[in-house]
Amino acid sequence: MKQFTFARAGSPADATRQFRNGAAYLGGGTNLVDLMRLGVTAPDHVIDVTGAVSDEITAHDGGLTIGAGVRNSDLSSHPLVRERYPMLARAVLNGASGQIRNAATVGGNLLQRTRCPYFQDVSMPCNKRSPGSGCQATAPGADTANMAVLGHTPFCVATHPSDLAVALTALNARVRVVSQAGVSQARGMAPDGGRWVDMPGLHRLPGGAPDHDTVLRPGELITEVELPPPAGGRQTYRKVRERASFAFALVSIAALLDVGPDGRVRDCRIALGGVAHAPWRALAAERVVLGVPPAAEVFAGAAEAELRYAHPLAGNAYKVTLARNLITTVLEELIP
Amino acid sequence: MSDTHPIEGHRAEGRDKVTGAAWYAFEHPVPDAVYAYPLQAPIASGRIGAVDTAEALAMPGVITVLWGGVAIPFGTENFELALFERSEVTYRGQLVGAVIADTLENARAAAAAVRVDYAPDEHDVVLRADHPDLFRPEKINPALPTDTGYGDVAAGLAGATVRVAATYTTPVQHNNPMEPHAAIASWDSAANHGGSVLTVYDSTQGPTADRDTIAAVLGLDPDQVRVVSPHVGGGFGSKGTTRPHVILAAIAARAVDRPVKVAMTRQQMFALAGHRTPTIQRMELGASADGRLTALAHDVLEHTATRTEFAEQTAACTRVMYGARAMRTTHRLVRLNVPAPSWMRAPGETPGMYALESAMDELAVALGMDPVELRVVNDPSAEPESGLPFSSRNLVACLREGAERFGWAGRDPRPGVRRRGRWLAGTGVAASTYPARRRPSTATASAVDGGYEVRVAAADIGTGARTALGDIAASVLGVDAARVRVVLGDSALPDAPLAGGSMGTASWGSAVADACAALLKDGEHGSADTADDVAKDEGWARHSFGAQFAEVLVDPLTGEVRVPRLLGVFAAGHIINPVLARSQFIGGMTMGLSMALFEETAVDATAGGFVRADLAQYHVASCADVPSVEACWIEEVDPHLWPGGGKGIGEIGITGTAAAIGNAVYHATGHRVRDLPITPAKLLATA
């Protein structure tokens, strides 16, 4: 392991001031420490930000503000989260194990790296870990069972592993990020010099630069997640994995369906996990469902509209079937 | 020996383990130890060229770098243990060198800075049925005939009323004990005569055999080596053979003249600690209308390494199970650029019983016969192939008892018709078997401080061997088990065989019982060597049997499989300690469930190696996957076993489980997945 210095930050400004090229922010450490052990990443300065950002959940303007330092277990058990955003509570409870949820933070969860086996093995080529080295997962005979079916490029076929991010993507959450004063003086600034990043929009598709997981710039720190007032209707999160617990999603879905008094869908949100480099907001599917009475045929059409452009790899065509089945079956379960 | 001895249910070392007082290999406080970190080849085939160690040697804390150019010659032909001796690379992850430094972190950092040039060759890592290089091995593990048979299989199939022909495949699997392989090696100064020259703290299933192998590899006499291994965090066969980390620790310690510690990472274990071969198994069965087998053929394809041959005895179980009129078993291997496959819990029986018991279920379906009854009508009166009488065989009793406890009666055989909410429900059954054998062992027993001390170089790999041997000794001595102290896990103790092949308790227990009997005569001390007794063990077919019943739920829209209920009934002779025995049975069954649904090491054809090399990707059952795994047993009184009367229980639990679950998945869905593991991807592909 490369030698590194370690410091605790007491405030966002303290954290961002300490940041320099080659530094890394540390939350619960449930992913970063693994990656440092594996040699996937080797920061020379580690800044513990758990004391720099809020670990509280507060109600505001009908919505909720979640400090980036809130532990996943506290998030999933918070009464307001369970009552108003049940898909979020369910998503977080479906992630990892109890021990890991106790340690993992909201900010860290959003910024965790892919669990692609080739990314995690430094003896393999990987454009995400080592730009320009190639993508072993696209070579013939590679293990592609857990790779992406949507939005991937020849540069990277990895998936984003977070459950939390999928639910936040469906809930139209936004995250607040701050950076060293003066660096992010740009449009969309928050009053204290930070900026808001909408979800979807935080995580990137790989394009030609899969080394960038998100749109965050070096040194930017997530300080909180803001949830808008809860939507109407019913919502849930469903995660499919071969093991009953402690496994990443093969495919997961966060879904919300609100049917108006006229019998037509007035709000529909669908986000998929396990299918792409980012949590996948299924806008094409939502458009099919919005404004019409909910019905199985409609949902099948919605799934088709979304998955028409899926490109499964040699070993993961099942994910397209699975995503289609999840969209239709979960939406049917949400019909009031 | 008496059947009534105190059963406390407490492990002798339980308190030490939960309080951290039990030292595992890496934890022994050896002063002045430094650390070696391995260098592994990133290619699967080729040669090592120039090695540049300059940058690594200049890094903080680095003492030296070992590699082929500076390493010492070995007294062994064992390719995997003669470290760095050849410039040839035959599998991805092969050890090609090591960095020794003052801390593990410094050694690991410097390892990344060693520049090794490779000249890669073409590699081949994929087992396939039409591989042109398949060959017939001389023998199969442990020393069984490769191909066997009797009668006319072709005629038996031709004359059958019902036939089943199907191919079953199983993937590469890894043992993955919780404690990674680790060792500390320490050489005594030359002045210290009389003691061992080399002391090794290792995590091993057999201190005696480990000592002998280490000595042979290093060109020492066995009495110059001492292996200390008081606690072992699981092995499942992967610690039954000496692994390269021990040799690395020993040569590194000699090179730097200080004790050296080596611990494999989880990722390294996938290349350096053995694995179970993938299998391609062709089953052909024929039966008359009453279900009696007219022919049974089991033809197996497996891989082995280019430099080391290991032939898993996958079809050996078929030679034991059913009374077919004609039978054929064969094994063929292909040498691939893979690490050497080796023992993994119930080698042979585990993949073999998956195929045989799945095929029996397919035959039952084809016959329209209950799968329990099909097994009953084919239960042989003597071992089918050898003709030897069974010392005891209670498969039918296990099936009957299991059917009763599980609620099998009245089962609707139709597949795919039972709904439970979004789930399809099904049940399945399969048989289990494992040989009951023992090996020669020695032991001593002494009266010490008002109590008794038993000494034997056994290994407690988490099974509770220390406790079971204490039970056996107490029973012979006629005292409370609390008064017996069992000392094991050290090659300085009386020689003993491995904890392996479900032979530990019978082998060590025979010697311990004899030593205790001798102590009773002598009053102070007794010793035993069972070599002569064990040599007389011929003449009977000795096997454990069992029956496993599974209930599964399958979501047809997602392909998820859950197992709400798994029941095993076993006939394994006399059960020495019911608490420990239950743990062994349900542990085996849980591992069988993992094999059925989760365990798979992906093979990357282009990169030429194993992928998913950690426990976040190589999945074993979590607690949520095993809501109800229950085991019970039929107490057998078998006069043809060792005096303790137990048949061995470490492995039978895993045999047949995957078939019972696969059969239940078929019953639930109507789809027969013949390729393990049974994943959502495969079930969705059948929809």
Q: Which DSSP string do the residues of A207-218 spell out, in sequence order?
A: TT-TT--BSPPT
Q: Which of B598, B606, B679 sits opposite A141 (nearest CB)?
A: B606
Q: What are phi and psi of B88, to 5 degrees?
A: -85, 135
The pLDDT value recorded for residue B79 is 87
The pLDDT value recorded for residue B3 is 38
B112 to A115: CB separation less than 8 angstroms, yes or no? no
B598 to A136: CB separation less than 8 angstroms, yes or no? no
3-state secondary structure of B666: helix
B139-174+276-436+539-686 classified as CATH 2.60.40.1930:
no
User: For residue B4, what pLDDT band results from cuts at 50, 70 and 90?
Assistant: very low
In a domain, A267, yes or no: yes
A142 to B685: CB separation less than 8 angstroms, yes or no? no
Q: Which of B560, B625, B681 sits opposite A145 (nearest CB)?
A: B681
ipTM here: 0.96
The pLDDT value recorded for residue A180 is 82
B619: left (phi over 0), alpha (psi -120 to 50) or beta: beta
Q: Which of A120, A123, A245 sits opposite B624 (nearest CB)?
A: A245
Distances (CA, A) of B584 to B213, B498, B591, B622: 28, 17, 11, 17
β-bridge mates for residue A280, sequence order: A272
- A244: distance to nearest CA of chain B, Å? 6
- The Cα–Cα gap between B270 and B93 comes to 8
In a domain, A284, yes or no: yes
Query: Is residue B112's pLDDT more than 60?
Result: yes
Output the domain CATH number for residue A308.
3.30.390.50
A245 to B558: CB separation less than 8 angstroms, yes or no? no
Collect all residues of chain B within an 8 Å Cβ-Cβ radius of residue A243: 597-598, 619, 621-622, 624-625
Query: Is residue B290's pLDDT more than 60?
Result: yes
A250 to B597: CB separation less than 8 angstroms, yes or no? no
- The Cα–Cα gap between B467 and B15 comes to 13
For B162-195, the pLDDT digits (tens) are 999 999 999 999 999 999 999 999 998 654 555 6
**Cα-to-chain-centroid distance, residue A39:** 23
Q: Which helix (H) or strand (E) holds B570?
A: strand B561-571
- B631: distance to nearest CA of chain A, Å? 22
A316 to B126: CB separation less than 8 angstroms, yes or no? no
User: For residue B2, what pLDDT band results from cuts at 50, 70 and 90?
Assistant: very low
* A117 close contact with B: CB closer than 8 A: yes
Domains B14-22+438-535 and B139-174+276-436+539-686 share a fold: yes
β-bridge mates for residue B100, sequence order: B36, B64
Alpha helices in B34-140 (DSSP H): 54-57, 104-111
Domain extents for chain B?
A: 14-22+438-535, 32-123, 139-174+276-436+539-686
The pLDDT value recorded for residue B10 is 78
For B594-605, the pLDDT digits (tens) are 999 999 999 999
Q: Which helix (H) or strand (E) holds B64?
A: strand B62-67
Q: Which of B562, B681, B685 sits opposite A244 (nearest CB)?
A: B562
Task: Quote the tokens at residue B653.
Answer: 């639990």
Among B118, B619, B684, B686, the strongest candidate for a mutation testing the A interface, having the largest count of A CBs within 10 A, is: B684
> Could you give the strand order of the β-sheet that contains B442-448, starting from the edge strand earlier in sequence?
B484-487, B451-455, B442-448, B525-529
* Rg value, chain B, Cα: 26
Among A94, A138, A243, A252, the strongest candidate for a mutation testing the B interface, having the largest count of B CBs within 10 A, is: A243
- The Cα–Cα gap between B343 and B421 comes to 42
Q: Which of B112, B606, B681 sits opposite A140 (nearest CB)?
A: B606
The pLDDT value recorded for residue B1 is 35
State the average pLDDT over residues B204-210. Answer: 98
In a domain, A61, yes or no: no
Collect all residues of chain B within an 8 Å Cβ-Cβ radius of residue A322: 558-559, 680, 684
CB interface of A with B, residues 275-304, below 8 Å: none
Query: Is residue B86's pLDDT more than 90?
Result: no
Residues 6 or more apart whose CB falls under 8 angstroms from that of B136 comprise: B146, B147, B330, B331, B332, B333
Number of domains, chain A: 1
In a domain, A265, yes or no: yes
Strand B260-263 relative to strand A5-8: parallel, antiparallel, unpaired? unpaired
Q: What are phi and psi of A324, to 5 degrees?
A: -60, -50
- Given a contact cutoff of 8 angstroms between Cβ atoms, the answer to whether A214 and A203 are in contact is yes
- The Cα–Cα gap between B638 and A2 comes to 61
Query: Is residue B494's pLDDT more than 70?
Result: yes
Burial (0-12, 13-18, 19+ Cβ within 10 Å), B317: buried
- Given a contact cutoff of 8 angstroms between Cβ atoms, the answer to whether B202 and B490 are in contact is no
For B375-424, the pLDDT digits (tens) are 999 999 999 999 999 999 999 999 999 999 999 999 999 999 999 999 99
Distances (CA, A) of B363 to B67, B152, B655: 56, 19, 19
Collect all residues of chain B within an 8 Å Cβ-Cβ radius of residue A41: none
Collect all residues of chain B within an 8 Å Cβ-Cβ radius of residue A124: 607
In 3D space, the residue among A242, A258, A256, A255 whose CA is nearest the CA of residue A318 turns out to be A242
* A321 close contact with B: CB closer than 8 A: yes
DSSP B299: E
* Chain B interface, Cβ < 8 Å to A: 40, 42, 60, 105, 108-109, 112, 126, 267, 422, 557-562, 597-598, 602-607, 611-614, 616-617, 619, 621-625, 677, 679-682, 684-685, 687
- The Cα–Cα gap between B355 and B662 comes to 10
* A130 close contact with B: CB closer than 8 A: no
For A21-60, the pLDDT digits (tens) are 999 999 999 999 999 999 999 999 999 999 999 999 999 8
User: For residue B8, what pLDDT band results from cuts at 50, 70 and 90?
Assistant: low
The pLDDT value recorded for residue B293 is 98
CB interface of A with B, residues 136-155, below 8 Å: 136, 139-143, 145
B312 carries an active-site annotation? no
In a domain, A34, yes or no: no
Counting one residue from A and one from B, how many pairs have CB atoms under 8 Å apart? 107
* A316 close contact with B: CB closer than 8 A: yes
- The Cα–Cα gap between A134 and A125 comes to 5
End-to-end Cα spacing for chain B: 57
For A196-238, the pLDDT digits (tens) are 999 999 999 999 999 999 999 999 999 999 999 999 999 999 9
Q: Which of B267, B605, B617 sits opposite A140 (nearest CB)?
A: B605
3-state secondary structure of B220: coil
The pLDDT value recorded for residue A336 is 93
β-bridge mates for residue B297, sequence order: B284, B328
Residues in chain B: 687
Q: Which DSSP string do the residues of B235-253 spell out, in sequence order?
A: -TTTTSS--HHHHHHHHHH
Among B95, B102, B558, the strongest candidate for a mutation testing the A interface, having the largest count of A CBs within 10 A, is: B558
In a domain, A41, yes or no: no
In 3D space, the residue among B644, B632, B637, B657 whose CA is nearest the CA of residue B581 turns out to be B632
The pLDDT value recorded for residue A229 is 97
Cα torsion A304, A92, A137, A131 to 10°: value is 110
- The Cα–Cα gap between B387 and B575 comes to 27
Name the maximum alpha-carbon separation found in chain B.
Answer: 78
B613 to A121: CB separation less than 8 angstroms, yes or no? yes
Domain that holds residue A267: 234-334
- The Cα–Cα gap between B432 and B455 comes to 34
Options B383, B599, B600, B651, the catalytic residue: B651
Q: Which of A124, A245, A325 sits opposite B622 (nearest CB)?
A: A245
pLDDT tens sequence for chain A (336 residues): 678 999 999 999 999 999 999 999 999 999 999 999 999 999 999 999 999 999 999 998 899 999 999 999 999 999 999 999 999 999 999 999 999 999 999 999 999 999 999 999 999 999 999 999 999 999 999 999 999 999 999 999 999 999 999 999 999 999 999 998 644 444 445 546 689 999 999 999 999 999 999 999 999 999 999 999 999 999 999 999 999 999 999 999 999 999 999 999 999 999 999 999 999 999 999 999 999 999 999 999 999 999 999 999 999 999 999 999 999 999 999 999
- The class level of CATH for B32-123 reads alpha beta
Residue B445 identity (one-letter amino acid): A
Q: What are phi and psi of A183, to 5 degrees?
A: -75, -45
Percent of the residues in chain B that have a pLDDT greater than 90, as a whole number: 94
The pLDDT value recorded for residue B7 is 45
Collect all residues of chain A within an 8 Å Cβ-Cβ radius of residue B680: 240, 242, 250, 318, 322
DSSP A186: S
Collect all residues of chain A within an 8 Å Cβ-Cβ radius of residue B337: none
Q: Is the link from the previous residue into B643 a cis peptide, with omega within 30 of 0?
A: no
In a domain, A330, yes or no: yes
The pLDDT value recorded for residue A181 is 63
Helices B504-522 & B465-477 angle (0-180, nearest 10): 30
CATH number of B14-22+438-535: 3.30.365.10
- The Cα–Cα gap between B667 and B414 comes to 7
